């Protein structure tokens, strides 16, 4: 059943699930910061498994956005509303940080990211997403000007260059790979990958016949991709770390997550992560559409949950007091991680709903009544540039 003029709650549920998995990823990266990894500890392998799903969720978010953006018109109003949300949280938590933290705990970098969160990469995902939004009118015109076959060829070439090759070609480096990395990435950047995912999401919306896809095959593809990603992560990461005999996994988790091939095999552009993301997206997309206003409204705070818990100052206030590293040897660590993840989502979602009912309403009124001239002017300029 096709529901007109209403959001597909299947995709809104997927949006919520993806954000939960991103928090679970941050539980590992931030919450377990400082933990010295031990190869014989089963929690090591559980934490690595948890961490995988954050990157997968990034791809899903862009797929969802591309699926809708290819058939919608870009407006400066959307950009202003999004920017207002980003700057509100950045300024709010900077003020809270100044009141609570000592000056030594607010670095120049944190200050710059709080004052200029978009241009200074306070939230890397948001920076890439806004650039993608700005280019979307031109992307849409180019995509629709291509034939289906030509668009598919562009996608295949892009995936080969920025997904297949980086997955199968070793970086020819040992720990720490971050400082001695040699290019197997064909100048890959997250922004390039966002554009590639946009092409894929657009192709799905414009040309893919969902009726020809079998849900059971998508589920098998998802399971196989996750297994291959996990096995590849362990093999590549283990070889990378143990190639230096003096290390033998006595590394803090932040080094494992940032400087070794553990993350190298499940980064957002790696091939099996891409396949797994596509399978999940298509599974939810194939489900019969329905609309639930309560779930849809809750999903509208997914980005707010990200902006709150991943704020550079909030991270300092959130994760350290929990002392999660003391549970590294506990059999309850996985359960603790899941409970904390859900609690963070609920609390952050509640905070964002309050913002949407108060501050955002005021900001939207300002945008619609006081800044509408800006919207109209930029739309005229955009229409002129696109047409010319």
Tokens of 244: 């230096």
At residue 129, the pLDDT reads 96
Contact call for residues 306 and 351 (beta carbons, < 8 A): no
**pLDDT per residue as tens, the chain (388 positions):** 344 457 899 999 999 999 999 999 999 999 998 888 777 889 989 998 999 999 999 999 999 999 999 999 888 889 999 999 999 999 999 998 888 876 666 778 778 888 899 988 889 999 999 999 999 999 999 999 999 999 999 999 999 999 998 888 766 555 555 444 445 678 888 999 999 999 999 999 999 999 999 999 999 999 999 999 999 888 877 766 666 544 545 667 777 666 666 777 888 999 999 999 999 999 999 999 999 999 999 999 999 999 999 998 898 889 988 889 999 999 999 999 999 999 999 999 999 999 999 999 999 999 988 877 776 666 666 666 666 5
Alpha carbon distance 362, 353 (integer Å) = 14
At residue 240, the pLDDT reads 66
The H-or-E segment that residue 203 falls in is helix 190-207
Contacts of 296 (CB under 8 A, 6+ apart): 7, 9, 12
Q: What is the DSSP string of 284-336?
A: HHHSPP---HHHHHHHTTHHHHHHHHT-HHHHHHHTGGG-GGGGTT-TTHHHH
- Minimal CA–CA distance to 135: which of 387, 386, 373, 371? 386
Alpha carbon distance 232, 229 (integer Å) = 5
Tokens of 64: 């969802």
What is the separation of C-alpha 374 from the centre of its chain, rounded to a whole number of angstroms? 30
Point out which residues pair with 36 in neighbouring strands.
252
At residue 103, the pLDDT reads 66
Alpha carbon distance 278, 276 (integer Å) = 5
At residue 1, the pLDDT reads 38
The Cα diameter of the chain in Å comes to: 65
Contact call for residues 229 and 52 (beta carbons, < 8 A): yes
- Minimal CA–CA distance to 271: which of 88, 50, 59? 59
Angle at 192 between CA 156 and CA 64, to 5 degrees: 75
Up-side HSE of residue 196: CA atoms within 13 Å toward CB? 26
Q: In 10 A of CB 375, how many CB atoms? A: 17
Tokens of 237: 């990461």
Alpha carbon distance 115, 128 (integer Å) = 18
The H-or-E segment that residue 62 falls in is helix 42-69
Tokens of 312: 């550079």
Rg, Å, the chain Cα set: 22
Alpha carbon distance 48, 25 (integer Å) = 9
At residue 114, the pLDDT reads 87
Tokens of 363: 């900001």
DSSP state of 70: T
- Minimal CA–CA distance to 362: which of 91, 85, 114, 90? 85
- Minimal CA–CA distance to 64: which of 353, 308, 282, 293? 282
Alpha carbon distance 243, 261 (integer Å) = 12
Residue 171, φ and ψ in degrees, nearest 5: -75, -5
Q: For the chain, what's the residue count?
A: 388
Point out which residues pair with 345 in neighbouring strands.
none
């Amino acid at each position: 059943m096709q529901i007109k003029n209403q959001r597909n709650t299947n995709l809104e549920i997927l949006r919520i699930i993806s954000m939960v998995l991103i928090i679970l990823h941050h539980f590992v990266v931030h919450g377990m910061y400082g933990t010295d990894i031990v190869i014989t500890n089963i929690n090591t392998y559980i934490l690595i498994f948890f961490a995988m799903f954050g990157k997968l969720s990034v791809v899903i978010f862009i797929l969802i956005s591309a699926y809708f953006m290819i058939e919608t018109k870009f407006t400066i109003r959307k950009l202003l509303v999004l920017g207002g949300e980003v700057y509100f949280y950045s300024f709010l938590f900077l003020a809270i940080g100044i009141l609570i933290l000592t000056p030594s705990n607010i670095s120049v970098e944190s200050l710059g990211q709080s004052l200029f969160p978009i241009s200074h990469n306070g939230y890397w995902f948001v920076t890439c997403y806004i650039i993608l939004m700005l280019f979307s009118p031109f992307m849409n015109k180019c995509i629709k000007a291509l034939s289906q076959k030509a668009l598919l060829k562009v996608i295949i070439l892009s995936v080969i260059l920025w997904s297949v090759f980086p997955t199968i070609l070793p970086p020819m480096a040992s720990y720490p790979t971050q400082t001695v990395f040699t290019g197997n990435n064909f100048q890959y950047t997250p922004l390039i990958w966002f554009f590639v995912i946009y092409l894929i999401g657009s192709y799905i919306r414009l040309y893919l016949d969902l009726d020809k896809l079998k849900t059971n095959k998508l589920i098998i593809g998802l399971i196989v991709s996750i297994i291959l990603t996990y096995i590849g992560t362990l093999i590549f990461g283990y070889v990378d770390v143990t190639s230096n005999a003096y290390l033998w996994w006595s590394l803090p988790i932040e080094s494992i997550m940032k400087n070794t091939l553990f993350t190298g095999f499940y980064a957002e552009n790696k091939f099996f992560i891409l396949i797994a993301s596509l399978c999940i997206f298509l599974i939810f997309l194939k489900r019969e559409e329905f609309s639930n206003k309560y779930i849809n409204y809750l999903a509208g705070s997914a980005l707010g949950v990200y902006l709150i818990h991943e704020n550079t100052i909030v991270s300092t206030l959130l994760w350290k007091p929990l002392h999660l590293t003391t549970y590294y040897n506990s059999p309850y660590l996985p359960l603790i991680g899941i409970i904390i993840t859900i609690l963070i989502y609920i609390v952050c979602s509640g905070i964002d709903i309050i913002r949407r009912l108060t501050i955002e309403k005021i900001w939207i009124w300002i945008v619609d009544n006081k800044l509408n001239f800006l919207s109209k002017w930029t739309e005229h300029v955009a229409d002129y540039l696109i047409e010319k």
